[in-house]
Chains A and B, each alone.
Chain A
Amino acid sequence: MNNIIDKVSECLVRAGSTFREDQKTAYRNAIANEPNNQSCWVMQQELDNALVAEENRSPLCDDTGIPHLFLEVGPNCNVTGELLEQIKEGIAQGLRQLPGRPMAIKGDDNARIDQSGGLDEDSGALAPSPILIKPVKEDVLRLTVLMLGGGPAIRGVTQRVFHKHNVDVVIDEIVSRAKEGVSKLGCSPCVLAVGIGRSQFEATSLMMEAMVYGDFGKQSVFEKIITEKVNESNIGPLGLGGKHSVLATFAKVGPQRASGVRIVALRPCCCFEPRRASVEL
C-alpha cells in the first residue's frame, strides 16, 4: 500500500466518472431554461449519464481522455523525483481501474505518428502529459487530474489576436473562434476554456489553470459576455439548436506583453469536461 499512489489513482477515477455539484446545477438550470425539447432531451441524457457514472464509478465517456496533471505546491512543501514517480504510478493504476480506453500508441517516432505500431492493450500504458507546477500561498501539496478528450483537442486553437488596444476586439475573436469550434464539436453543450498570455506555452498553461479553477456558479463579467455571445449562435446541444451551446466559460488572463498582440488559447471542452478532480497529497 502506498498512500500517494492510492490517492492519485482514486483521484483519476473520480475525474473520469464524476460531475461536480456546480456542474450538475449548471445542467439542471440549463434544462429548466431551455425551450427546445430536443435539446432538453440531450442535456437530460447527459445528466442521467453522469449520475449513473458516478454511482458505478465508470467512465463518463468512452473517450476517457489523456491525463493532464496540475500540481499546486505550498511554501513548505517539497516536490521530489520520488513523488513524481509515485504520481505517475498512481495515474497508471487509476487508468486500469477506471478503466481508461486502451489508446497508448506503440512504436518509434514515425510509428507513433502514423499509428502503424498498433495500440497497447494496457489502459495504464497511456502516458500522462507533463506536469504543470504552480506555487501557491496555501501550505498544501494538491494534485488536480484533468482527463482531456480528443474531440475538443481537434477543435481547440492557440493563436494570436491583434487587440487594437480594445478588449472587445479580443472577446469578439474568441467568440468567433468558439462558434466555429462548438458547431463542429459533436458533444455539446460546451464549456469554453480560455487562456490569454504572452506565448503559446503561457496561454495554454493559463487555459489549463482556467480548467482547474473554473466554477460554473462563479462567472466573471468577461466570462459571461463570451458565454452569452456564443449562445446567440443557436447551435445548441449536439447541434440541435437552442439557447445552450455553451454552459460556461472558464478564462484566465495572465501577464501581458507590451505589444499589439495577445496569444489566446481556446478549447471548446465537451459536455463532460472539464473532467477534473483534486487530491491533497
Chain B
Amino acid sequence: MRTLFYILQKEFTQVFRNKSMLPIIFVMPLVQMLILVFAATNELRQVDLAIVDYDHSTVSREMIAGIAGNPFFKVRENLANSQEAENLLMRNKIDLALIIPRHMDKDLTTTKSAQVQVLVDAINGNAAQLSLAYLSSVIGEYNRKVVISRIGGENNPIKTIIIKPTYWFNSQLNYKYYMAPGILVVLITVVGMLLGGMNLVREKELGTIEQINVTPIKKWQFIAGKLLPFLVIGLFDLAFGLLVARLAFAIPIRGSLPLLFGLASVYLVLVLSWGLFISTISDTQQQATFVSFFSLIVFIMMSGLFTPVESMPDWAQKLDFINPLYYFVKIMRSVLLKGSNFSDIFNEFAALSAFAVSIFGLAIFRYRKTS
C-alpha cells in the first residue's frame, strides 16, 4: 500500500503540474455543455414553405391564410407556377412546396374531395417526415372546419376523439433536458478514455517506463496510479458540467446525486481502463489516440445519445450490450430526469460493474514489465 501511495503522489504531482491540464478540465465542459447541447437537437424550429396557388378560390385563400398564420412555417406565396417551386427546392431555398391545383374549390363542392400536392426535400428523412406531418395536421385542421361548416355548422353534433397527452418526465418536451445528460456522458468519456491512456503512452515515449519496469512496482499498482488521478478529474468535470447545465438550462436533478456520482465512478473506471488497455498495446500517442478515438466514435454513435436505440436494427441493438456508453447514457437520463433510484437501474449498474472489473483486469494483464 505504501508503494501505491508514492505512485499516486508522483502521478498527482505530474498531472496537476501540467499546464495544459487546467484548460482541459475547465474549458472542455464549458464548450461541450454550452455549444453541443444547443447544436445536438432534432427539433424543427421553422420550415420554409412555398405555395403555388393555381385555384385562387376562397377555399384556397382560407387554407393558405391558415398555414401562413402558423409560426412554424415561413411561407413564400405568389409563385407563378410549380416549376418555380421546384427551382427553389433545387437551390435549397425551401423545404416544402405546396401546390394547389385548379378547381380545388369546385372539386370539393362537386365530388366532395379534392387533392393538393406537396413536394418535400427529403434529404434528411427525419426532418422531411416531421415537416410533412406538421403541414398535414394544419391542412387537416382546416379540413375539419370545412367539413363542419358544410354539414351545418357548429350546432351539428359531430363525434370526434380528441387526444389529451400528458408528457411525463419532460412535460415541456424540452430537448435540452434530453441532450444535456447525454453530452455530460460524452464529456467524462473523453476525459476517461484519452487522458489516462495518453499519460501512460507518454511514459513509453519518454522512456521513463523502463525505469519503472526495473523497480518492484506491481503491475496493478502502476495501472491504478494511472487511473485514479483521472477518475478524480472525471468526477470533478461531471460536477462542473452538471453545474453549468443546471445554471444554463435549468436541467432537473430529480434523482440522488451520491447515486449518480457512485455510478459515474464505476463508469469512469471502465472507460479509463479501456483507454489504458489501448495504451498498453500502443507505442506512440498517435496510435493510442487513433484507436481510442475510433472506439469513442463507435460507442457514441451506437449509444442512443443522438438516435434512439429502439430504431436501430436488431443486431445493432444486441451490440449495445457491450457498449458502456449505452448503459451510462441511460443511467444519466433516468437518474436526472426520472429520479430513478438504485433498484430501477440495477441492471445497468451490474453490467457496468462487470465490464469495469474485467477491462481493468485486462489492462493490468496486458501491461508488460518484460517485453
Q: Do A and B come from one complex?
A: no
